[in-house]
Amino acid sequence: MRASYSGIGQYVRCLFPAMFTCSQDIEWVAYASSSSSSQTLPVHFPSHVSVKCSKSSWGFSRREKDRTPLDIFHGTNFKAPDNRQRNTILTIHDVWLPRHPQYSKKLFGQALSSWKLGFRARHVSRVVAVSQFTSRELQEMFHLAPDRIAVIHHGASPDMFPERDHQKFQDVQARLRIPSRPFVLFVGGAEPRKNHTVVFNAFARSPRLAKSLSLVVIGEVQSRGASLTDTAGKLGIMDGICCPGYVSSEDLRLLYSHAEAFVFPSLYEGFGIPLLDAMACGAPIITGTGSALPEVAGDAALYIDPQDPEQLGMEIERLVGDRELQTQLRNKGFERVKQFTWERAAQDTLNLYRDVLG
């Protein structure tokens, strides 16, 4: 079951309802894929939002009542088709594939798609970057001027909050076949940039971790040529690893809330939503020093070199053995996550629309 939305799916389902609530005087049009149905759309639409099917992916437009064509089209997923709009806003969540085209699933490679993205970014009215890190990436890769980029952070998911319900967790533990001992949580699956190999190697090199803790890994078991089970098998740690695939938001919330530690040594993140989820649920965090991760986690995490499994193993041992440190990180996380709200993101996005319209 995959009830949890991807980062872009969460962006759509959280940002736009927040904007609908504070913009009753605006007529909205949502463009959805022609293959979508009302059951698969990520957003419940109020009466002042209409939905149109399109061959393109998700986008939103804002139109003052009784005026055509569209005043603004907002492409939420890297794309910005022509829908007779006067102005276009384009959200770019990261440039992972332009940076690392070897991981592209496209039959003829990533070059054309990357060129198209750069072309769009240079010709739309304004680009939304989800972090200062992504803004710097866009300036470097696509030669965008800083004043053409608006940095608007994600907000924390409304589904994520502390839930220390022992009975509910026991039910999840039994259903997902998680061993009945303390566990470390990793979210990202086999996707190469999420860097599961360094986590698995940290456990393989530390007899203490392998003996006293389980590792719960959420996400795709196989992705872009990598496999969680193959990695665990080669390292001889299959008995201590639990890989249930994707889980529901409810199950994920309970896992975050009961984890001894959340490890997220991702090699590249345009933002890093799992960090917000972990902080919102009270999971002590160990994360990497690169990309947008420090920008999101701030002082509410321990930091490691994402290429160093021995350092990660030592920090996991230190954290799970120090209740005071866990409490400090948990409390810092609760305070840090308050800075990231969808209400703030909605107001910043609406202000951007007004600025573009002049």
- Same domain for 253 and 195: yes
> Shortest CA distance to 261 belongs to which of 219, 297, 214?
214
**Which has the higher per-residue pLDDT, 338 or 51?**
338
Could you tell me if 100 and 143 are in contact, meaning their C-beta atoms sit under 8 angstroms apart? no
Q: Is residue 63 part of a domain?
A: yes
Return the DSSP state at 269. -
> Shortest CA distance to 217 belongs to which of 250, 182, 252?
252
- Same domain for 204 and 275: yes
Q: Is 167 exposed, middle or buried (0-12, 13-18, 19+ CB in 10 A)?
A: exposed
Edge-to-edge strand order for the sheet containing 26-33? 49-54, 26-33, 59-64, 72-75, 87-92, 126-129, 149-151
Return the DSSP state at 86. S
Structural domain boundaries, residue 283: 166-337
Q: Mean pLDDT across the stretch 218-244?
A: 93
Q: Is residue 161 part of a domain?
A: no
Predicted confidence band at 36 (pLDDT cuts at 50, 70, 90)? low
Q: Is 266 exposed, middle or buried (0-12, 13-18, 19+ CB in 10 A)?
A: buried
pLDDT at 173 over 70: yes
Q: Mean pLDDT across the stretch 310-325?
A: 97
pLDDT of residue 217: 98
- Same domain for 326 and 177: yes
Instruction: Output the domain CATH number for residue 217.
Output: 3.40.50.2000
pLDDT tens figures, 49-98: 777 766 555 456 655 444 467 888 899 888 877 655 678 999 999 999 99
- How many domains is the chain partitioned into structurally? 2
